[in-house]
Chain A
């Protein structure tokens, strides 16, 4: 004991959901013999050990248990199973407005928070100017908190939480309501606290921030820790495997392309599969830079009446269309009653993510659709590097020390002309 600033053992949280308020009373009266509730485990079997000064990122979809975990660590609510132990003063930024009395002024709220954290009167008064200056809310600092905009409330909350120099800081995603200037200030302040040795637990949907700020990270799904490793690995894996859109949605998106009219037997896609480039090995998990080919088998019963084109594209599972191309753009012919079209990608440029690969059979002008198919297994791209975003562009770097921009050169030329 004592080596860890924060320790959680088998932490779990079960919410009881009652269909009707009466259920709670009936259950209490029957002393638990009759069960009137459904159980919802928001958190299960979470084990954590954070050394003093460590920073832990927490990523996960909405409802994965991030906020519940932070609430338990903060001590706002109690776990249903397990124990958690925290050493030192705990500062937290959980929900917006939590910890504020709406009719107290910002100043009085700052005093109240500080006194609950155990600071004495002179310590509190000494910190107030810094809190006021950091929040940058002007005269609102002396007005009741209920008159604040959500941005102002967040500014006050953050300045209070960070100025009280906590030993452990727990931050849920609250920066979202701040403007860019203040968001940057917050991140800088968190870095400063990190340098000073504050232990930080940081929940965010910004994988970039998690990666930059945190040493390690956990990925929560359905209340369980899916992965606990260094922040780069966890955020890459999270980006690769978790985004909320399944095939059904992609089918819906594709269905918006107008269908071709006409009777008789229509052209159709028999199959579409992804192979490692130049091999017969089907793949569904690759790294950026790998080569793949998408093979589309088509049948066209009457090629003379219904000439066709084939399109192949990639949808990321948050419904971002990443790229698509067709034989029409490439001015190719797709002849015959049956055949295979191969879409070759020598070097995949996509970064971490889950992608649905689809094929569409178009009419000769590539406007109307005869048929479409989504590859049965989504393509998971898993990046191990630090690059972020959708694509890795071909690029190189050059540094030219001392060179001034064209504007400076032009200004100098102007000045010379005036002389």
Chain B
């Protein structure tokens, strides 16, 4: 009989244990694949809504990073020629070096920051039966991924325009970026779930991100860490974002002009991939556990 094939849904009072949640968390890619059309619609809407009604419309995601790069070039090359010669950076390399760091950090910080309120803001959707709420942080992360891709496009154009070499090791960059994506998404899951229960999360997240940004070598050179007390140095060196940004700069060949070019950043890649996978798995599993009570709190 055809009725025998009806899907059966059972809801229990007892929350699933960490074991089954972790098992469920591994299935995140299949959830995303099943709802890819919807996810695509969310991402398009997210990007469109930011520039809706403006004359230049779709150009803005591209113009924004382009102006930012122009600003760095103006300030760091024309006004205060900043030379980080110790790291082997020439004047021409400084703006791309800074810009790459800012774009990477921006992708990470925006994903976490904008995901924080995404569950609460979309309460109407979360109240829908069977709505897969993980799509919400997921769509934010993908939209930020698109914005990052445009920013990186500007970086690549500048890199070539400035006549910098393109090393073969840049082919390893996608691996590093995959780790960054997982790391950002994992924290996005945690922050969005926490915000449902404790609304202080939004402020806490922005303050923590500000601290984190300055503790990451975006605007300063990593060798400066050698001068700080060992405990702080250990923290700074094990910061995954340190390895994301320094690793990416290395892979893009920005340090190759140094007297002693750095080796391939296998350590950084490993650390970023490992921490990304761990944070994503735990973050999503925690999200799955908290999700049962979202509607009660919204």
Contacts and interface: CB of A to CB of B under 8 A. Distances in A.
B131 interface: yes
Interface in B1-26: 3-4, 6-13, 15
A99 B133 CA distance: 12
Most buried by A among B124, B198, B293: B124
Interface in A120-177: 121, 167
A99 B3 CA distance: 27
A243 B56 CA distance: 61
Given A21-B199, A115-B35, A116-B131, A102 B124 contact: yes
Contacts of A81: 13
B127 A95 contact: yes
A78 B124 contact: no
A62 B210 CA distance: 47
Interface string B222-259: 00000000000000000000000000000000000000
A81 to B, nearest CB: 5
Given A75-B129, A100-B124, A112 B12 contact: no
Given A87-B8, A88-B6, A78 B13 contact: yes
Interface in B280-298: 292-293, 295-296
B71 interface: no
Interface string A18-40: 00010011000000000000000
Given A2-B4, A24-B198, A103-B45, A83 B127 contact: no
Given A81-B13, A94-B127, A99-B125, A167 B293 contact: no
Contacts of B35: 115-116
A104 interface: yes
Contact of A80 (B13, B38, B124, B130): B13
A61 B199 CA distance: 32
A81 B104 CA distance: 46
B45 A78 contact: no
B244 to A, nearest CB: 31
Contact of B296 (A75, A77, A89, A108): A77
A112 B128 CA distance: 11
B263 to A, nearest CB: 45
A62 B21 CA distance: 36
A379 to B, nearest CB: 41
Contacts of A112: 38, 41
Contacts of A72: 11
A179 B128 CA distance: 24
Contacts of B8: 85-87
Nearest to A77: B295
Contacts of B15: 78
A98 B127 contact: yes
Given A98-B124, A98-B128, A115-B38, A21 B9 contact: no
A97 B9 CA distance: 24
Interface residues of A, number: 47
Contacts of A86: 8-9
Contacts of B128: 76, 98-99, 113, 116
Contacts of A84: 10-11
Given A21-B199, A101-B45, A167-B6, A79 B124 contact: no
Contacts of B10: 83-85
Contacts of A74: 129
B203 interface: no
A183 B286 CA distance: 43
Contact of A76 (B3, B4, B295): B295
Interface string B92-128: 0000000000000000000000000000001011011
A79 B11 contact: yes
A90 B129 contact: yes
A117 interface: yes
A160 B66 CA distance: 44
Given A71-B295, A101-B45, 4 more contacts: A83-B13, A92-B129, A100-B124, A101-B124
4 smallest CB-CB distances across A and B, nearest first, come from A99-B128, A98-B127, A88-B6, A74-B129
Interface of A: 2, 12, 15, 21, 24-25, 52, 71-72, 74-90, 92, 94-95, 97-104, 108, 111-113, 115-118, 121, 167
27 contacts: A2-B4, A15-B296, A21-B200, A74-B129, A75-B11, A77-B296, A78-B13, A78-B15, A78-B293, A81-B13, A83-B10, A85-B8, A85-B9, A88-B6, A90-B9, A90-B129, A90-B130, A92-B129, A94-B127, A98-B124, A99-B128, A101-B125, A104-B41, A111-B41, A112-B38, A116-B128, A116-B131
Interface of B: 3-4, 6-13, 15, 35, 37-38, 41-42, 45, 49, 122, 124-125, 127-132, 197-200, 292-293, 295-296
